[in-house]
A and B are shown apart, each in its own frame.
Chain A
């Protein structure tokens, strides 16, 4: 009988999900204090009222019995994988006193010895403010960034003035996804892109997927082009070659007006500049002489030709590009990529046709450029050594077709907003709006950060092009002397990032973590990284915390599409479990314990605009207070109504103007086809490292992108004969999903979530059958797992999905499921892309069957004598 309960409370609380970084607007149903459902918030422009498997399953994470609910102190001084930390429960007061003491001591020696590692995008501004107050530049060691979109963010910042990419799904006619499953419940704005990509496919938009793996995107595509891992640059350049040199299709007016294609390049590879004003020169075809780029009418600027100015022979950048890509014939690219030459030619032909170069369309009374093609690239393409060069090569397709931020094309995510637009930087080139860069402290790849001898553990001084040097810490912590660094890490604060699993070879990361004398983990689980902590502090679940603008603070991160500007609020649906607290609040507390009131308030004034007279009565800021302050600033009088029970927590000031939705038609700044500043930056980096022992490859600092083989391509095929590649699963994200009992169960029922996927021919050649246990060995180590034999992967590649293969005792659901890809990635500077700081996500491996597997008896003997037939467990 279903007991009839006397329900006292039944409300829907609107908030924002945090099952991945997208922070979709959701509503949580709370009945008598228990969350019984989570659904999409129809008012939210990002979720559109939908929700994914991860979001729904957050309920089980919230109530996970294995959650950390009390501060825990380590008793065992010995640290290591599998070493019991011998946790003892202590009070918050004791714990905070202990951390404050360590922080005080560290600050007294050198504030830079304090490090924060996290992948909590929503708390990132607060963490920055806190670090500023503390005095450390080491605000954001984020391992997720290593494999994520580093190589694409940098390219988008250069070309679109934006951090992320999307597509005008309403008009696009041909979408090419290269190493990206955007629109398949991964990548940014997952719900929005997934819904709209499905609509676009129903409308007839063509989808081409370039990927070694036949996942959801490739399965739904009109055409799947399996490519050899890490060779996408060659494909991109071959298509550009077809467009420019064979088909002769390119958007000349766009190149003249919006790019540096007309800038004259001298023999040294640098711009030829005017004698007086030092501005780059272009050749004025009407006047028959050179003139400053901003003086010559764009339609008169030459794209072709060789000119002599002041005795110096020079050519427009476009002419150099044309010549540069001539080498990438379909046959040459086919050799590198294993994509048949005919297919490359055909794709280029289709793009040339579908781009409608020269056509316009009327939108809201404006006649706008209409370029309904987009080449989207993400981690699969750019998460490699030479990843940024690959991104630049692929983005050149969009650029030469003029498909940048116009109707139907590749769009940056909000390069232009209500009160910001990209700046016109040096030489007329585009610099992302201050507003877009400031909150997370991103570096602008143009003109690039100042290059100096390394002074910080992030090595940002020698990564002038990367948007943020947030991945180099393991190298500098272990080998600071090599870089000439004098910083000895004393305290590491760590939250929402499982460093042991999401960086590289865990054996090396264990050494890194052991090197830090005092480590604090703000944790929901005693995961692989928390096992190294000296102190574990219970962190609040996202259904227990308060964050303003989780997805788009302030409007610059992830507002999707041509739709509406919005703000959103994350608010607690239930009180924090046990003694857990939002780690941002704990940081603020620690700041006050250190007596840094003034520093904190100054930093928060800068980032959150909290003026001295706006401080709370007790003078102590909290995350909730900062949120409420921001909310009233953003939503005005409506703030009081945002997020009340049974209402939405999303507020929408207004719809985007056409100028914001399709800014490419209005932006004045130029985007690069030729990265002139790379030459200089490359030289500066080499000079800055002179005299150190560091081997730093600056081969990618060339103004035009090239395909270059990386270490994996050059491994001895007799030893390692397959490329291992990671990939994302639509129902799993980051390293937490496998601990969710529902998602783990679905993973077990999924054909390949917890398997090594391998091509049939590759398996046959090694005597491996479907379901066999195998070892996968790279130069970094060996992992074991089961094989799923498939036709859906490039025969030279094996794939491992998600972040699985957990080993921490505190994650008993996740433990032992699936394979851990990152264990195969060597801890080696060689795998880092020196432009973007992306890590190489392909590793050469060999796969062998584990001997002595279970014997195979004939089926009916087994059915009669062994386990047959009827176990009720399997009903």
Chain B
């Protein structure tokens, strides 16, 4: 079966940007989006120094992590190997930007002023609020033409053909010299190979080319706030089923209302952060692969169940509903962490650390909130020891967290929570105030650490601040 791919001869490339602009023209890429940039890196020490040029584009991976990360099922791999984003399905979650280890996916935020007839004719075909990337010029390829970057290249550095055909130009080039893949955080079986023959490789004594990495700026404050609200809401719900504070307003359970409001608010924050908020429903379509999609489904059913539970229901109904809601709330709390750890391209987020932190943080907030409600109503509860236990657990978790800033904040916050709890145990009269302090600390620490943990994520970027290319030695 046809498997389109590209072989790039880095020895031939002279960094002239013909491919970069050709791509821009062919695709009418919006302002600031360059789907075929050329990275540069200076290697060596004067006078034994060289610039390496590395033409970039989407690698059209056989195991494309963007496909499974997309909650909207907007990215598909065609039978001929071309990975394409369907603009009409993309909701602008930007999960694919984080999933791609090549930094090859770009977000078209908002439509720029289309100042020229060219832009009106071509840029207007792109939908703002969606993800954009190289398509291997699929419409050209379907007409039997080479991609625009290949056609333009003045040195013939880019070769495009069917990798599965033994006699194709790409296969012949790969027989002559070894084709290297870009060194990335994960193996995605890319369809783009680099010939790093001769000089550059020998001089630099390098085996792999890797890309510049910078703190991700894709998911930020809004995502931290969303994760925090979801965790707080679901955490309050779980804790309330255990601690059962007896607070009602107009006959409705306050904790249930609080959980519902917070989770709904989280959902709204998330929606507002989508590039195409009105396409939020598409986020339900890829629950087979994407944790974001699973979370969206869980949020939806959690809200539905909790809404039912707010009503005075007979116990025969409410009991199984509560059980289901508790199970869903665990998903609501942990799916952001699972979604982040699922973005394997970002090393800092891998592993069980993030889901565990998110769970403990949520339970801390839940127990503290319920504890405060009980304390204010003059009751006594098991909240204080639970709070102490959770804080200690959270403190322990900081030691598997890689970032020292997030660790410091978590240690400090939870240390203060433990002190407040100990003081409250020693001085039960102060419990309402100290409990509120602990709750405040839990809320603050949770939000802050989420923000910091998001900031720890580094992704590959097509252009570094100085357009540099990083080279990793063997």
A residues sitting closer than 8 Å to B (CB atoms) are: 1-2, 31-40, 49-53, 56-57, 59-60, 63-65, 184-185, 190-191, 194-195, 198-199, 201-202, 214-216, 218-220, 222, 224-226, 730-731, 741-743, 745-746, 749-751, 759-761, 788, 790-793, 795, 860, 863-864, 868-875
Q: Could you list 20 examples of A-B contacts with CB < 8 Å?
A: A34-B117, A40-B152, A50-B154, A53-B21, A185-B14, A185-B16, A185-B154, A198-B14, A198-B154, A226-B46, A730-B16, A731-B17, A791-B42, A791-B46, A869-B217, A869-B221, A870-B220, A870-B221, A875-B97, A875-B109
A56, A64, A745, A795 interface centre (most CB from chain B within 10 Å)? A56
Cross-interface CB contact of B121 among A1, A34, A751, cutoff 8 Å: A34
Per the bound structure, the CA–CA distance linking A225 and B32 in Å amounts to 37
* Selected contact of A49 from candidates B117, B151, B215, B468, CB within 8 Å: B151
Q: Smallest Cβ distance from B7 to chain A, in angstroms? A: 13
Which of chain A's residues has its CB closest to B120's CB?
Answer: A34
The distance in angstroms between the C-alpha atoms of A224 and B50, with both chains bound, is 9
Contact A198 B118 (CB under 8 A): no
Per a CB cutoff under 8 Å, which of B21, B37, B217, B219 touches A731? B21
Complex Cα spacing A423 to B155, Å? 37
Cβ contact within 8 Å between A201 and B125? no
Interface string of B450-466 (1 = CB under 8 A from A): 01001100000001001
Q: Quick one: which of B151-188 are within 8 Å of A by CB?
A: 151-157
Return the CB mask of B119-143 against A: 1 if under 8 Å, else 0: 1111001000000000000000000
Give the distance in Å from the alpha carbon of A363 to the alpha carbon of B405 in the complex: 72
Contact flag A52-B49 (CB < 8 Å), given A40-B152, A59-B118, A870-B220: no
Q: When the two chains form the complex, which single residue of B118, B120, B455 contacts A60, counting CB atoms closer than 8 Å?
A: B118
A195 touches B463 (CB 8 A): no
Q: How far is the CB of A69 from chain B (nearest CB, A)?
A: 14
Nearest 6 Cβ contacts at the A-B interface: A870-B220, A63-B116, A198-B155, A730-B16, A219-B51, A53-B17
In the complex the two chains form, is B122's CB within 8 Å of A56's CB?
Answer: no
B219 neighbours in A (Cβ, 8 Å): 870
- Report Cα–Cα, A202/B195, bound state, in Å: 12
Are B467 and A750 within 8 A (Cβ)?
Answer: yes
Q: Which residue of B lies closest to A225 (CB)?
A: B47
Does B47 contact A56, Cβ atoms closer than 8 Å?
Answer: no
* Chain A residues in 8 Å Cβ range of B51: 214-216, 219, 792
Chain B residues, Cβ within 8 Å of A191: 154
Q: Taking CB as reference atom, which chain B residue is nearest A47? A: B154
Interface: B106 (CB within 8 A): yes
- Chain B residues with CB under 8 Å of A63's CB are 115-119
Chain A nearest CB from B186 CB (Å) reads: 22
Q: Are B153 and A60 in contact (CB under 8 A)?
A: no
Whether B11 pairs with A201 at a CB distance below 8 angstroms is yes
Q: Could you tell me the distance in whole angstroms from the C-beta of A347 to the nearest C-beta in chain B? A: 14
Residues of A close to B463: CB separation below 8 A: 749
| CB <8 Å contact, B118 and A36 | yes
- Is the CB of B344 closer than 8 A to any CB of chain A? no
Interface membership of B321, Cβ < 8 A = no
Best-surrounded residue of A38, A63, A870 (most CB of chain B within 10 A): A870
Which residues from B are CB-within-8-Å of A872?
Answer: 107, 109, 217, 220
Q: Is B201 among interface residues, defined by CB-CB distance under 8 A?
A: no
Contacts of A790 in B (CB 8 A): 42
B432 at the interface (CB under 8 A from A): no
Known: A53-B17, A216-B15, A751-B468. A59 touches B25 (CB 8 A): yes
Tell me the minimal C-beta distance from A233 to chain B in angstroms: 21
Secondary structure dominating the interface of B: mixed
> Among B24, B46, B52, B122, which residue has the most Cβ atoms of chain A within 10 A?
B46
| Cβ A56 vs Cβ B217 within 8 A | no
Residue B310 at the chain A interface, CB threshold 8 Å: no
Interface centre among B16, B24, B118, B467 (most CB of A within 10 A): B16
A-side contacts of B42, CB under 8 Å: 751, 790-792
Assess A194 versus B116: contact at CB under 8 Å? Given A731-B17, A874-B217, A875-B107: no
Given A198-B12, A202-B11, A56-B22 contact (CB < 8 Å): yes
Asked whether A53 and B16 contact (CB < 8 A) given A195-B156, A219-B50, A791-B42, the answer is yes
Chain B residues, Cβ within 8 Å of A59: 25, 116, 118
Distance of A874 Cα from B125 Cα, bound (Å): 22
> What is the predominant secondary structure among interface residues of chain A facing chain B?
mixed
Q: How big is the B interface, by class?
A: 35 or more
Residues in A with CB closer than 8 Å to B14 are: 184-185, 194, 198, 216, 220, 730
- Closest CB of chain A to B90's CB: distance in Å? 13
A868, B117: Cβ atoms closer than 8 Å: no
- The CA of A496 and the CA of B53, in the complex, are separated in Å by 33
Cβ of B201 to closest chain A Cβ, rounded Å: 14
| Given the contacts A202-B11, A791-B49, A746 and B20 also touching, CB distance less than 8 Å | yes
Once the chains bind, are B217 and A742 in contact (CB under 8 Å)? no
B436 lies within 8 A of chain A by Cβ = no
Of chain B, the residue at the smallest CB distance from A860 is: B405
Query: A790 CA to B468 CA in the complex, in Å?
Result: 12
**Residues 394-425 of chain B, each 1 if its beta carbon lies under 8 Å from chain A, else 0:** 00000000000100000000000000000000
Bound CA span A202–B159, Å: 14
Bound Cα distance A863, B53 (Å):
31
Task: Judge if B88 is at the interface, Cβ distance under 8 Å.
Answer: yes
State the CA gap A843–B47 with chains docked (Å).
Answer: 23
Residues of A within 8 A of B17 (CB): 53, 730-731, 746
The answer to whether A751 and B20 have CB atoms under 8 Å apart is no
Known: A195-B154, A791-B45. A51 touches B16 (CB 8 A): no
Residue of B nearest to A192 (CB): B154
* Nearest B residue (CB) for A24: B154
Q: Which residue of A lies closest to B466 (CB)?
A: A751
A57-B50 in contact (CB<8A): no
Smallest Cβ-Cβ distance to A740: which chain B residue: B21
A843 to chain B, nearest CB (A): 22
Contact: B21 with A742, CB < 8 Å?
A: yes
Q: How far is the CA of A743 from the CA of B122 in the complex (A)?
A: 18
Q: How far is the CB of B95 from chain A (nearest CB, A)?
A: 13
Whether the pair B125, A194 counts as a contact (CB closer than 8 A) is: no
For residue B40, CB closer than 8 A to chain A, the reply is yes
Structural contact, B154 and A751, CB atoms closer than 8 A:
no
Which residues of A have CB within 8 Å of B44? Answer: 791
Q: Does A870 lie within 8 Å of B118, measured CB to CB?
A: no
Closest to A340 in B: B47
**Minimum Cβ distance to chain B for residue A320 (Å):** 35
Q: Are B18 and A53 in contact (CB under 8 A)?
A: yes
Task: Please indicate the chain B residues that have their CB under 8 angstroms from the CB of A730 in the complex.
Answer: 14-17
Residue numbers in A under 8 Å from B156 (CB-CB): 195, 198-199
B 64-114 contacts with A by CB, 8 A = 87-88, 94, 97, 106-107, 109
A184 to B405, CA, bound (A): 47
Residues on the B chain within 8 Å of A49, using CB: 151
Known: A65-B115, A860-B405, A870-B220; 20 extra A-B contacts, CB below 8 A, are A2-B125, A34-B118, A34-B121, A39-B148, A53-B21, A56-B18, A59-B25, A185-B14, A185-B16, A194-B16, A194-B155, A198-B14, A198-B155, A218-B50, A219-B51, A226-B47, A759-B46, A761-B46, A869-B221, A869-B451
